[in-house]
Homo-oligomer: A and B are copies of this chain.
Amino acid sequence: MIASSKLNKFVQEIQAFLKPEQVLNTDIDRYLYETDATSLFKNQAALILIPRTSQEVARIITIINKYPELNFVARGAGTGLSGGAIGDANSIIISIAKLSKLIAFDAANQMALIETGLVNETLSQLVKQTGLHFSPDPSSQAACTIGGNIAENAGGIHCYKHGVSADQILGLEVVLPSGEIIHLGQINQQACEDFDLGQEIKQIHSAKRSAIDFTRLFVGSEGTFGIATKALVRLQKIPESFLTMQVAFASAIEAAELVSAIIKAGFKPTALEMIDKGALEAVSKTFDLGIPGESNAVLLIELDGDNDEILLEAKAIKQLIKTQFKPLLYKETQDPTERQFLWKVRKGTVAAFGQIAPFWYLYDAVVPRSKIPEATAKIEAIALKYNLKLASVLHAADGNLHPNFLYDPEKDPGVVERIHKASHEIMHLCIELGGVLSGEHGIGVEKRDYMPFLFSDADMETMLKVRRVFDPKMISNPNKIFPIRVCKEC
C-alpha cells in the first residue's frame, strides 16, 4: 500500500491542474466508490479523481506513471456486475462521469461522436428528434455510461436483433496507460480536433473498416488497455412499432424449444426473454399476472420494425406456436399500456426478489441456444444441492442465462459460501455444454479464476502479451480478467 506521504505528494501534483471538487479524498468518498452493482466485491481505492477532458485524463495518468506503487481504474456509473470498476488500496479511480458531452452527431450516416461518460439513455434522448437511438439496452441504461458499456461489451434485452455494444462502436479515442492519446478505428486526431472547434453537427468519419480492427479488440477489454475517452458510435433507427407476445408453458423445456423453433424458422424477434418458475413465483407475490397457476415458464417475444411487417411476422409465429406447441396461455398486444404490463413479469422480477429475500446474486452464464433446456434443468439441480433459492431470467435467443440466487446471510450464515460453490459448478456446467464464461457482464474480479476452465495457458499468455502492448507496467485496472496467479508470473 502506498505510503500516505507519497499519496499526499501525488495529490499535490494533481491539485496543480484539477479543481478541489475534482479530487475526492475523504473516507466517505472511498466508501462510496468501494463497490459496483454486485455488492459481493468490495475494496477501497486510494483516491477518486473526476477529470473533465481527455487531456486531464492523460495528465493524471502521466503523473501516475511517476509513482510505481500506483495503478488506476476507470469508472463510469459503477453499475457493472463483475467487480470491474473496483480498485484497491493503491488505485486511483478515474471517473469518466464528467466527460459526458455529445460532441456531434451525423444523422445521414447514423452516428455520433461522444465523450464516453455520456449516459446510455441520455444519448438516445439527445438524438431522439432524428428518429435514431443508441440501441444497446442493459437494464442499467438510465444510469450506465457508454464508456462502461464499451469496457464490458454490454448487451441487453434487445441485443439479439440489434447487436451488443461492440457492434455499435466504430472508433475510439483512448488514453493509453503511458498517458499518450491514440485513436482506433474510424476516428483520428484530426476528426476529434475539428469537433473541439465547437461545431454541433458535422460529417463524421465512416467506413466499413480500415486495416487491423483495434476498436473491436478494445471493446470488452474491461479497462485493462487504457481509458476510452471519446467514441464514434453507431445510431440505429427507433423502431416504428412494437408487438409483444406472452406465452406461458407448463415446462421450461417446451419454452426453450419454442425459442429454437422461432430462430430456426428465420424470425428475428428483438427480444426473446424467458422467465422461470422461481422468478414467476417472486413476481406473483406482487402482481396478479393472470398467468395459469401451473405455468412453469413464460416466454416474452417482442417484434419491432415496420408495423405491417411485424403484424405478418406475429401471425406466422402464432401459427407456429399453435401447430407445434401446447402453451397454457397466449397473449399479444401492441397497446403501450398492455405491453408495459406484459413486461412487468420480466422487469418486475428483480424488484419482486425483495419480497422473498433481502439480497440477490445475479449470475451471467452462457450456453449454446440448443442447450438451454439441459442447462436449465441442471442449474435447478445445483440450486437444490446447495439449498439455494433460485429464480432465473434468460436472454434466450443468445443462450444467455441469468440465474439469481436470493439469500439472507443473517438467517443463513453459510449461504454466501454455498453461492460461490454453486457458481463454480454452474461455470463448469456451461463450459461442458459448449458455453463460455460471460454473456454481457464481463469477467472482472468475479470470474477471473474461471478463465482456465475455457482458455489454455498459451491462450491466456497471448492475451496478456497483447495487453502488455497497451499496458506494459500492468497499471490499467490490474488484477481483472486474468487469474492473479498468471499475472504475478508474467
Contact = CB atoms under 8 A, between A and B. Distances in A.
B313 A456 contact: no
B439 A368 contact: no
A366 interface: yes
A189 interface: yes
A108 B189 contact: no
A480 to B, nearest CB: 11
A1 B153 CA distance: 47
A211 B451 contact: yes
Given A217-B214, A463-B211, A368 B469 contact: no
A354 interface: no
A368 B205 contact: yes
Nearest to A451: B211
A345 interface: no
Contacts of A3: none
Contacts of A107: 264
A87 B120 CA distance: 47
A193 to B, nearest CB: 12
A400 interface: yes
A435 B312 CA distance: 39
A458 B214 CA distance: 13
A216 B164 CA distance: 14
Contacts of A313: 306, 309
B436 A180 contact: no
Interface in A331-373: 366-371
A463 B214 contact: yes
Given A188-B455, A203-B370, A206-B369, A214 B462 contact: yes
A489 interface: no
Contacts of A186: 436
Contact of A456 (B183, B316, B467): B183
A108 B481 contact: no
Nearest to A310: B309
Contacts of A155: 208
Interface residues of A, number: 80
Contacts of A368: 106, 108-109, 203-207
Contacts of A309: 306, 308-309, 312-313
Nearest to A111: B368
A484 interface: no
A137 to B, nearest CB: 15
Nearest to A206: B368
A228 interface: no
Interface string A254-289: 000000100110100000000000000000000000
Nearest to A202: B434
A398 interface: yes
Interface in A207-237: 207-214, 216-217, 219-221, 237
Contacts of A366: 207-208, 210
A108 B213 contact: no
A80 B83 CA distance: 45
A164 B400 contact: no
B221 A212 contact: yes
Nearest to A463: B212
Nearest to A211: B443
B434 A213 contact: no
Nearest to A263: B110
B216 A217 contact: yes
Given A306-B312, A463-B211, A466-B212, A369 B109 contact: yes
A469 B465 contact: yes
A437 interface: yes
Nearest to A374: B203
A203 B456 contact: no
21 contacts: A107-B264, A110-B263, A182-B458, A203-B368, A204-B368, A207-B368, A207-B399, A209-B438, A210-B436, A211-B454, A211-B455, A212-B220, A214-B462, A214-B466, A216-B216, A216-B217, A217-B466, A306-B312, A306-B313, A309-B312, A466-B469
For the complex of A and B, list the 3 residue pairs with the smallest distance between their C-beta atoms, beginning with the closest: A210-B436, A216-B216, A207-B436
